[in-house]
Amino acid sequence: MISNYRGIQAIYQFEMARFGRTFWTSLILPVITTALYFVVFGSAIGSRMSDVSTVPYGAFIVPGLMMLTMFTESINNASFGIYMPKWTGTIYEMLSAPMSPLELLIAYVGAAASKSVIVGSIIFATAHLFVDVEVAHPLLMVAFMILMAVTFCLFGFIIGIWAQSFEQLQVIPMLVVYPLTFLGGAFYSLEMLPKAWQTVTLFNPVVYLISGFRWTFFGQGDVAIEVSMGAVALFLVLCLGVIFWMFRTGYRLKN
């Protein structure tokens, strides 16, 4: 039951204010990184590649680049947001405040997801400086962006509670999420792989996220859009289950 709207608003505004204070790293850095990706993959490599399923290669990598950036932003923002109160000890004040776990989750994940969607939108705008990109299903694209941002912010929230040091905050993103993203079809179609590797790659959950997002752009993907949406929704439910178990048991939240 949600009743403490003022508390949710206070935490949300605090997190968004921190986002504004880190303007250069939060906004400018992703734009520069995306521009470099387009220079290398879109121009240097893309000019030597044929179209991918009738889509120019430069436009083909736009959904993958957006997902790559949003994965990173969602996980980092959400994990850092909840880890800092743990590190400073203020988490105990919030746990004893008249706010339910659901209200805390809405505040932190809502702020982190907002940041991620803002950065993803800026990346989309930046892409238009290099290639012409038309979106076949704009409303579904926005819905998929929000669903993905919320889902991976929940995952980042779990990492933030689990982590006991700043080094641990980077372990799962660096060793698991980033490799799976690069191997999930961000810069290529599964049709380019040998048959055996296509089958292996289908066990990578990131494939369904990138493929579904690419479908909203071009009306085609490596897997059906229904499967992609279902995979994201399933992961969201799993993350919610883990988070509420953490709050119920006090796992790494209470000494």
pLDDT band at 202 (very low <50, low <70, confident <90, very high): confident
**What pLDDT does 110 receive?**
96
- pLDDT bin (cut points 50, 70, 90) of residue 105 is very high
Q: What percent of the chain has pLDDT over 70?
A: 95
Q: What is the pLDDT of residue 53?
A: 77
What pLDDT does 116 receive? 93
Distance between CA atoms of 159 and 84, rounded to whole angstroms? 12
* Residue positions counted in the chain: 255
Higher pLDDT, 68 or 106: 106
pLDDT given for residue 162 in this prediction: 95
Predicted local distance difference test score (pLDDT) of residue 68: 86
136 pLDDT tier (thresholds 50, 70, 90): very high
Q: Taking 70 as the threshold, does the pLDDT of residue 43 lie above it?
A: no
Q: Among candidates 80, 125, 103, which has minimal Cα distance to 5?
A: 103
pLDDT-derived band at 33 (thresholds 50, 70, 90) equals confident
Q: Rounded distance, CA 213 to CA 208, Å?
A: 8
Residue 236 pLDDT greater than 70, yes or no:
yes
Q: Does residue 233 carry a pLDDT above 80?
A: yes
Burial class (CB in 10 A: 0-12, 13-18, 19+), 177: buried
Contact 82, 161 (CB under 8 A): yes
pLDDT mean over 202-227 = 91
Question: What are the structure tokens assigned to 16, written together?
Answer: 């968004």
* C-alpha distance across the termini of the chain, in Å: 26
Indicate whether 45 pLDDT > 80: no
Give the span between the Cα atoms of 56 and 62, in whole angstroms.
11
DSSP assignment of 128-176, as one string? TTTS----S-HHHHHHHHHHHHHHHHHHHHHHHHH-SSHHHHHHHIIII
> pTM for this structure?
0.91
Residue 99 per-residue DSSP state: -
Residue 46 pLDDT: 60
**Which of 184, 57, 61 minimizes the C-alpha distance to 126?**
61
